[in-house]
Amino acid sequence: MNAPRPTLPKLTVNRQFMREFTAAPAPCLGLGLVEVEDSQCALVALHLDQTLPPEVSAAGFAFGQALFGNAAWEVVHFAFEFYGFATYNVLINPSDPVARTVLSTMVETGDYFFFALTADNRVTAFRSAIAPDSLAGLKANMTRIQESTTSDAQYHQAVSQFRKRPEPPGTLLTWVCQEDTDYLDLTQDPLVLNPA
């Protein structure tokens, strides 16, 4: 007799955020919020232009973060290494109100989700392994992130420079679904996802 599978919790996201995110050309990344078991967590959503083989999804990925910049500006760098398969990078402007809220929620709760939408329209959800030092870089720079005044021009210049010499080497994702704080409202237009 097979043991019953554990029931996975329902996930609630903003419907309009998901519409815009899934309509954006891949590869891209969007930031939002997700509600699970009556708590709000940060959501980092990747829309990939290729299919993740089951063994790659099962192995998970390494998630790195850093702050790049100088005395005048800063950007947040995320790197996602799907072991033996592909590496993706993205730069985020921390002065964006959506980014600031999501990054603060990520650091405050220590709990966050990754959604990976692949070319075959499958979505894999990964929940953070809550380890005390997993967000040490963001935590150490949270005051600077919250006070960031990085302009759009400075952000685009940072992206242009990074594209020439990405570190780690990999695909640079376009950051989408910026600036609209309505995407963070999970009460007005909720979309409930039932994980399988």
Average pLDDT value for residue range 95-119: 93
Distance CA 71, CA 73 (A): 6
Strands 123-127 and 112-117: antiparallel
pLDDT tens digits, one per residue of 44-68: 999 999 998 889 988 888 899 999 9
Cross-strand partners of 46: 29, 116
Average pLDDT, the chain: 90
Domain extents for the chain?
11-177
Res 7: pLDDT: 62
Output the pLDDT for position 93. 98
Q: pTM for this one?
A: 0.90
Taking only the tens place, the pLDDT of each residue in 109-136 is: 888 899 999 988 888 888 886 555 678 8
DSSP conformation letters of 79-106 = EEEETTTEEEEEEE-TTSHHHHHHHHHH
Reading phi first (left if > 0) and then psi (alpha if -120 to 50, else beta), residue 85 is in: alpha
Q: pLDDT tens for residues 30-47? A: 999 999 988 999 999 999
